[in-house]
Amino acid sequence: MTEFVPQPYDVVVALDIGTTKVCCLAGRKNEHGKLEILGVGKVDSIGVLRGVVSNIEKTVSAIREAVEIAERQARMKFRTVHVGIAGQHIKSLQHRGILTRESDHTEIARRDIDRLVNDMFKLVLPPGDKIIHVFPQEFTVDSEQGIVDPIGMCGVRVEANFHIITGQITAVNNIFRCIEKAGLKVGDLTLEPIASADSTLFEEEKHAGVALVDIGGGTTDITIFHEGIIRHTAVIPFGGNVITADIKEGCTVLQPQAEKLKTKFGSAMSTEVFDNRIITIPGLRGRDHKEISEKNLSRIIQARMEEILDYVLWEIRRSGYERKLIGGIVLTGGGALLNHLDKLVEYHTGMSCRIGMPVEHLAHGYHEGVNSPIFSTAIGLILRGLQDVEARPETVEASAEEATATREPSNVSEVKENSWLENVLRKTKEWFEAEPDVDFDKKKS
């Protein structure tokens, strides 16, 4: 029987609860600063509709199954997970904050920025909404505009533009409830496209201007960066599942058959299909088989994909950064695996396009299959979790002590090391007790 150790402080576990899949990844940084994947669990998702939990029990069951698979691979018992959130309920807004400081001689400190950010959480929102993220954009210090980082400067009046992301309280609570029912704790909640951006985009692209389009099963998420700052976020309530539904209706086949047609034979551009092969689908319960041409299949896919891209273009234009995206569009998510989709995006939008893979941050010899757009969100969640670990050393030390206290010695050398330490402590205690001039108990108090 495999012995599981508690989750160490330096291991971050990510949970991506999607419309088509629930995946759990565990990882830590190696000595070279690269991400080492320790365990991967991926199962089909049933209780999630368009990124929102619609059935608690089915979602809890999928979470447990994915976590157990990852735990067996990592040989650890997970306690805390970093989870992503998406869905049609996600909204974004811009707001301006102002802080008047008491003295113009003292430097602007981190606590001043934190006060500005915390003030944003006091905004009055529509009933049922909750702020998930607050991202500072540009600062103004005493009428000096366009400052990215004002810390260390002197000034009385500090102003800032903020990009604020909100979501429904019920959707957030349902995610928390599912994770708690699965026997885990939530370490942090992150908007999924923000996590995907961390794992797939390069810093040069963020500064040049880029639109990340994360095509999932139920939604298509858009995040726009310019000058290294998040400028716009949006969620489109269409994803890969509507393409599957169109194939099901257009070809009169079953849902599983439609999904296989899309992934194995589908193409986002009908002009790229040259052979026009005939695909044979077995009939239902002894009925005659169906024959579908590859060209017609591609036309169905292209029509729906162009509709989704129209929504993407509309959001890019609404952001006001259409002509500033030198980096073009980066596609990620499971939908990005559709054949010739990058060509269709370039043809339909007139922007350059590439497929975003989360390979850049992975250690050499990474877990097979993780270098896929499907895992972009989960790997991004791990990266954000590792940043939190590095930023809070006091929490890390406490977690390390807790892990050491609960963990059993795993090998002979560790047992020897523990016994040696006990001997040292025992002899030190004897030395203090034997000292006549020192009242040990009094000094200790």
CA distance 194 to 327: 17
Residue 206 in tokens: 């963020």
Is 217 part of any domain?
A: yes
Is 390 part of any domain?
A: no
14 φ/ψ angles, rounded to the nearest 5 degrees = -110, 145
221 φ/ψ angles, rounded to the nearest 5 degrees = -100, 140
- Domain final position from 140, 166, 192: 166
Percent of the chain with pLDDT over 70: 87
CA distance 360 to 371: 9
Q: What is the extent of the structural domain holding 121?
A: 91-166
What would the pLDDT profile of 154-164 be if each residue is shown by its tens digit?
A: 989 999 999 99
Is 322 part of any domain?
A: yes
Q: Does residue 114 sit in the same domain as residue 223?
A: no
Is 60 part of any domain?
A: no
Q: Does residue 157 sit in the same domain as residue 214?
A: no
Residue 266 in tokens: 């589908």
Cα distances from 350 to residues 256, 326, 362, in angstroms, run 34, 12, 32
Q: Does residue 207 sit in the same domain as residue 253?
A: yes
Q: Does residue 343 sit in the same domain as residue 212?
A: yes
What CATH number is given to the structural domain containing 249?
3.30.420.40
What CATH number is given to the structural domain containing 108?
3.30.1490.110
Q: What is the number of domains present in the chain?
A: 2
3 φ/ψ angles, rounded to the nearest 5 degrees = -90, 125
Q: Does residue 210 sit in the same domain as residue 162?
A: no
DSSP string, 312-343: HHHHHHHHT-GGG-TT-EEEESGGGGSBTHHH
pLDDT the model gives residue 421: 47
pLDDT the model gives residue 311: 95
Residue type, 191: L
Is 419 part of any domain?
A: no
What would the pLDDT profile of 365-421 be if each residue is shown by its tens digit?
A: 666 678 889 999 999 999 999 988 877 654 444 444 444 343 334 343 333 344 444
Q: Does residue 210 sit in the same domain as residue 314?
A: yes
Q: What is the pTM of this model?
A: 0.82
Q: Does residue 215 sit in the same domain as residue 114?
A: no
Question: Which residues are bridge partners to 159 per DSSP?
Answer: 98, 140
Is 67 part of any domain?
A: no
Mean per-residue pLDDT over the chain, rounded: 85
Residue 368 in tokens: 């097979």
Residue 154 in tokens: 């002197």
The mean per-residue pLDDT over the stretch 321-347 comes to 94
Chain-centroid distance of CA 32 in Å reads 23
Residue 250 in tokens: 């257009």
